[in-house]
Structure 1
């Protein structure tokens, strides 16, 4: 089928591009893919970090101690852990007499095409190298995470380097497919049932320890049946934290307002003839003239500010800088996304808002605000030295793997919006919404304030509704309205007030001088008379 110069590598001349080997590899790859893995079963799930996020905090996305998978395996700064990984691999081999790594590599050979398809970035490694990386890293990862199955986290969590390795394991670029872990465990334990039991136990223990939110796990049998639905460890944690919410549920308030929209449409049809009459220019001048005269009266602008301005602010939840044009140089820059327009925890607390933790197993979907009682319901947040890395990589994974609304990203933007200072952290901690194991409240506040970067704007129905309800409740409080009125028209107008005070003082001094002058003239007249 092919010319001899392409099928026989010995006859080819030295060249920068080996045509014969390329053809052989392509034929081998296509044959393996068609025989073992249909194209519809291949899923890309391990991505590189978007540049907009990588620029904000590189250390949270780049492994510092150990590489897992092919993305960072050749970096010189990570070679120190390779010896430790080999030691762990030998330990797992010695635990079973029948365990041989060559046999494991042969077992993984049938998954080679599927493994490559899981990575978004091209892997320039040959088949044998990639399979040996999968075998060594999966064995190391399983042995390292077994401590969570036997509940020995407390004795090992303070070991030097343990938390650094945990943070590396949860990075988006440091993942290996979950089916590789299952295959390795099945080969070690010689049983699919035992492998799934241990894998579920390990994943639950790891996520329970690292999750920033309290997780309500399903039954073990259900989790074992769903293992094929999880792409890797980070994906397992993401699906445990973020509930699967249908597109209709994200914007359910729009469905609720359809009845009101129908009524509005009917009224609009009824008033259409009247609108045509009053929309004429003579009628418009007659109707608007008295209002224009009244609105220009002294003091009326201040009153209109007090009653109308903050109602308009309540409907705004996101600020974005306008741009008239986009240049080629702006493509690589982070998006111009600012914090949500929402008061901080301390400001809401002064306005009478009370923060209430949701049920012990509350997740992102339990965020809500009760306008009647003024209670802001939020899931309990756990903070430790690993939380920032976990949060950032969950946001990066959601941005890379999701084309719809970014639910978890919107939640982090909400918490970032209400936490501005250590006082905000203290109030949330005292009201049971936040549990911090960091050194200080200031450190927790700095962590949240640094998480304002996002790859794109997004709206999530139930979260945006809660934000709008909080803003409406806050701006509707009289103490807030009066406080802002005084701030704008009293403190903000200190120059005018100082000028008026100086004028008043000058007038009083003038009156006093004139009074003294007239008194002197009167006394002088009486004496000369």
Structure 2
């Protein structure tokens, strides 16, 4: 009987646990279109500052950071200026609209936001109008406020642009888009007009003057998403079963030793690396502190959102290409790397840590390229030819000596042959 009582008590406990778990089902949000993520610790610990805003918070993740609060007054001034120039709707109308998007906006974040409905709506409205005003002031100087804190100081505008390109400092693009459409109903599609303003503002990051077709055709989720699309290669291979074995490139020193000629590529896209007829074309890379922040945040975004992790794989490729200061020196001399850092060692460390701890896709973008480079280096003829050029064709006097030796050898052979024939 004691055993039966114990069994019954155990069943009751399991029933209670099951009921407790089931009751929590009701509190779950519906499947979300999550696109704004917190940076994983494995990436963050490599460079904490690269993911942290310096002066302004956009969205909820850094909203209550005391060091960023001074910029909240500027957001209010921008909202006031916005309402003065756009009187089709009252402030109440904008609040009502933003409030109706709350659930959709919250679902874009990868963790729950500890703000009530009013606080969330106020944050989204202030941040959304702020970025719209910022884009307009960047393009149209006459819209700027007198003694504007951002545009009167070049360094300040650079830092704001940098902060707005952080993964944890994003707001859903659809909120900005809908606010923009409410205020500016132009003859052109409002979405296209807004993307052009975004492109104009982030131009110093993107290095592309024209708005790429890929961005226009994509459902942009936020600013990091838009910037990441600008780094996609011009030609994207169709996924197949080629990536059975992950292969990386030999180092720059090894490539040159095997006769590969390094050349600065003309493409503005970092991923447009080509190897044809013994020439490796690599677009220019500038590994400074500011661009490192952009690169790291795009890579963090790729870890969650993309099947193809293009920028992650680019830096994995470069990490194996630049393994030592000697490798960096080769690329710097060819202007493939513009080193704005203190020395070659700093450039190597920067390149080798940007994608460290990041996961690659199963369909490594540079698989075919690395396969070509490895096969080239494995051919003994290529190494022999490169060694011959280096040792015997390095300067005119060596070339003359080699030619003289060859001529002397040929004359000696000819004389021997003639002597042998005369004996007959």
Superposed pair shares fold, TM > 0.5? yes
Superposition pairs of residues 52-67 of structure 1, within 5 angstroms: 52-67=42-57
Secondary structure of the residue aligned to 2:238 is helix
Give SS of 2:168's match: coil
Q: Distance in 2 between matches of 1:411 and 1:114?
A: 34
Describe the shift of the 1:191–1:479 C-alpha distance in structure 2 as closer, same or farther (beyond 3 A). Answer: closer
What's the offset of the Cα at 1:357?
4.2
What is the number of residues matched between the two proteins?
356
1:367 pairs, out of 266, 270, 273, with 273
Report if the CA contact (8 A) 1:215-1:361 is conserved: no
Post-superposition CA distance 1:443-483 (Å, at most 9, x none)? 54332132242243544344122223223323435696999
Note closer, same or farther for the CA distance 1:427–1:130 as it changes in structure 2 (3 Å cut).
Answer: same
Q: Secondary structure at the match of 1:143?
A: helix
Instruction: Tell me which residue corresponds to 2:94.
Output: 104
The equivalent residue for 2:402 is: none
Structure 1 CA distance, aligned partners of 2:246 and 2:258? 19
1:170–1:393 Cα contact (<8 Å) kept: yes
Residue 408 (structure 1) shift: 2.3
| TM alignment of 1:361-510, pairs within 5 A | 361-362=268-269, 364=271, 366-370=272-276, 373-402=277-306, 404-421=307-324, 424-435=327-338, 443-477=346-380
Q: 1:52-89 deviations in whole A, cap 9, x for unaligned? A: 10111111111121110011101112112212222222
1:172 is displaced (CA, Å) by 0.7
1:174 aligns with 2:162: no
Q: Which residue of 1 aligns with 2:252?
A: 345
The structural deviation recorded for 1:422 is 5.2
Q: Secondary structure at the match of 2:263?
A: strand
Tell me how far apart the structure 1 counterparts of residues 136 and 370 of structure 2 sit (CA, whole Å). Answer: 41
CA RMSD of aligned residues (A): 3.8
Confirm or deny: 8 A CA contact 2:264 2:336 kept in the other structure: yes
User: Cα distance 1:47–1:480, how it changes in 2: closer, same or farther (>3 A)?
Assistant: same
Query: Residues 161 and 208 from structure 1, CA distance in 2 versus in 1: closer, same or farther, beyond 3 angstroms?
Result: closer
Change (3 A) 1:197 1:482: closer
CA-to-partner distance for each residue in 1:259-298, whole Å, 9 max, x for gaps?
A: xxxxxxxxxxxxxxxxxxxxxxxxxxxxxxxxxxxxxxxx
Q: Which moved more, 1:233-242 or 1:421-430?
A: 421-430
Gaps of 5+ in 2: 1-25, 143-149, 387-424
Q: How does 1:78-227 map to 2 (within 5 A)?
A: 78-150=68-140, 159-191=154-186, 193=188, 195-211=190-206, 217-218=211-212, 226=217
- Distance across 1 between alignment mates of 2:320 and 2:226: 27
Q: Aligned partners of 1:132, 1:215: CA distance in 2, in Å?
A: 34
CA 1:146–1:216 in structure 2 vs 1: closer, same or farther (change >3 Å)?
closer
- Check conservation: 2:325, 2:348, Cα contact below 8 A: yes
Alignment partner, residue 275 of structure 1: none
Matched, 1:45 2:40: no
Give the SS at the match of 1:355.
Answer: strand
Structure of higher CA gyration radius: 1
Does the 8 Å CA contact 2:231/2:269 hold for their aligned counterparts? no
Residues 1:354 and 2:255 are matched in the alignment: no
- Paired position in structure 1 for 2:23: none
Contact 1:216–1:361, Cα closer than 8 Å, also in 2: no
Task: Report if aligned partners of 2:94, 2:125 keep a CA contact under 8 Å in 1.
Answer: yes
TM-score by length of 2: 0.71
**Local SS of the residue matching 1:45:** coil
Residues 129 and 157 from structure 1, CA distance in 2 versus in 1: closer, same or farther, beyond 3 angstroms? same
Of residues 55, 59, 67, the one that matches 1:77 is 67
Give the helix-richer structure, 1 or 2: 1
Contact in 2 for aligned 1:351/1:480 (Cα 8 Å): yes
Once the 2 structures are TM-superposed, how far is the Cα of residue 419 of structure 1 from its aligned partner? 2.2
With the length of structure 1 as denominator, give the TM-score of the two structures: 0.58
CA distance in 2, matches of 1:415, 1:254: 19
